Structure 1
């Protein structure tokens, strides 16, 4: 039985353990944080969202196991351009659907039989495309400069469409791509110009928001949330805001927390099971539990670095770099919002916040990382076998030495 599990669970074992622990923490806290939602949407059946979330967690592990056992890493390089085109089409369709139906935001695409956020697919497809472009142009600075324009063009297009419905997600993805290009040794001049361009764009959005029409609602929301964080939320004068509830949850959790299921604040928060789930976790498991979650994401980041360092080829290394950076940045943003370090924004905590198809896409990203770690181990074993063969071939025959 043990050998069978070892044959199936391939790749970095530490990363598997981290994902398993995060899964257990996710199931516990989602069950606790969805009580209000269950009474409102599921006729009071509090186990409804527990079973739903557990199903998607299990499905996510199935996706990871499939990718690491069946799909070769080189396949991702082959499909990268096509998958990026599909992603852009889906993002555009989501925006068109939003304009035609009058939905609140163009984040999700409803295909009747399934509804999902194309931005989750964009995290994977854009990294795959960027890794392919940068990996194939490492011979000179001139080639890297050409790759930069391909990657920055694709990133600007994809993140620009995503920003129409979710500026923070666009920012997270773009920062991850910037980190990828930095690791890929893109010339500092080009990186510096991109940073300056990003600062100029953010400043323009902030100062132009008051004079823009209501059709530019996300830009106005962008400015409003920064102002609320810097100068105080005017809504707090009339009642308790979500950010206030998050701070209250962390305060009431103290050092040791209220224990599993002990959260009171989750009964009053709209996003207790998603954007502010970290605050509810601290309320129930204390500051120690919150630190443990931070450490798990740090281990995830460090294992990603180890996988990159062990890679013998550039595409797998860049693939892991981009994905690890995006998920690590996303986790940092979520926890920073919950603790009041950053303006309020809608970023779920990877692999902990409640989700459906978003969990499956996140699992696919983890599956790619694990596939590269398994490929590294295979390459290492092959090198060792070749080294042993070479030693055996070079050993002189005893009879010949005596002669």
Structure 2
């Protein structure tokens, strides 16, 4: 057991970390690993791989991802900012390269091969983009002469342009939603907010007109006509599960659901473990968002406030999109369920996001005490 009297770095981390966040993040990782046993063997069989191919791969990513999350949680807010800047530069560079040398999958170029590794650069861009924009919004709020808001808008334009070029409409919508929430929290004038809303509507309309696959998905969602096999099968799996599920390993729809281990793992969970289990899973994601926003509301530092809010919004909105598609409440769109879906890039990237949240929400009484002491000395009062 680590003593409170021990002021080493590990002891300091242990006593200052938000244990609720840490527990929920690790719990979700465990649930994701458990569901990989339920969802992935059928997919592996369809592609001719060994039964536990994806389970093994999931396990291989799990420990490094956990280590990344814990390592990042040791950072100070200043280190978080610097790390995010480097991550953003690297990920944007890779997103440019992926347009020319990326691997094309289903008509989109989102992956780039670096030796034996396949990396989806946009996954790593998201947390870095949120932190850097939070920094820009905060600097403008503290020093209005710094055009932080303008830089955040320009950066958003660059990111969206690269996502559209891949194309990746789902990540574009996610990034826009999170950035829009931070934009609103930063206290932007209503005129700017209205202009951004008009821009978002115009972007969606243009995507519908110019991108046939986007129009097809929206039309299928609105009319129910055409190839709706994925969402229909996912919905049937949820109905079959009922309140308490068919039991572990007893699901049948996973054998025919495409991407059962990634985009539609929620439906597999519903069939085998039931609606109550899925409601508990949704409650965990809601807890992350609500606790994060509650902590951000009490934060005095604007950077911490914006960054925490943006990072937990990413969790919430990404989860909402994935679950909404599974429940046929949203048009079909590939979007992983954080910590739950299979995927190396998404797992590592979401653990970086979680690590940022843990780092920024740590209690720092010594820092606050030092700040009060310096304030007292500066004003001629004895330090407490």
- TM-score of the pair, normalised by structure 1: 0.85
Higher helix share: 1
**Which residue in the other structure is 1:230 paired with?**
222
CA contact under 8 A between 2:163 and 2:171: conserved in structure 1?
yes
Distance 1:394 1:97 in 2: 60
Structure with larger Rg? 1
Q: Could you list the runs of 5+ residues in structure 2 that have no partner in the other structure?
A: 376-381
CA contact under 8 A between 2:43 and 2:261: conserved in structure 1?
no
Further displaced range: 160-169 or 248-257? 160-169
**Which residue in the other structure is 2:378 paired with?**
none
SS at match of 1:189: helix
Pair 1:305 & 2:293 matched:
yes
**Which residue in the other structure is 1:195 paired with?**
197
**Which residue in the other structure is 1:335 paired with?**
323
Q: How many residues end up aligned between the 2 structures? A: 374
Give the counterpart of 1:179 among 170, 173, 181.
Answer: 181
CA contact under 8 A between 2:98 and 2:109: conserved in structure 1?
yes
Q: Could you list the runs of 5+ residues in structure 1 that have no partner in the other structure?
A: 210-218, 388-392, 396-403
Further displaced range: 71-80 or 117-126? 71-80
Pair 1:61 & 2:66 matched:
yes
Within 5 Å, give how 1:30-45 maps onto structure 2: 30-41=36-47, 43-45=49-51
Specify whether residues 311 and 376 from structure 1 end up closer, same or farther in structure 2 by C-alpha distance, changes over 3 A only. farther
Distance 2:235 2:57 in 1: 28
CA contact under 8 A between 1:80 and 1:132: conserved in structure 2?
no
Further displaced range: 321-330 or 32-41? 32-41
CA contact under 8 A between 1:90 and 1:118: conserved in structure 2?
yes
1:248: Cα distance to partner?
Answer: 0.5
Distance 2:149 2:351 in 1: 28
Residue deviations 1:192-245 (CA, integer Å, cap 9, x gap): 101111112212332x33xxxxxxxxx211111100000113125xxxx01011
1:102: Cα distance to partner?
Answer: 5.2
SS at match of 1:374: coil
Give the counterpart of 2:111 among 108, 115, 129.
Answer: 108
Residue deviations 1:253-275 (CA, integer Å, cap 9, x gap): 00111122221111111111111
1:66: Cα distance to partner?
Answer: 0.8
Give the counterpart of 2:212 among 195, 213, 220.
Answer: 220
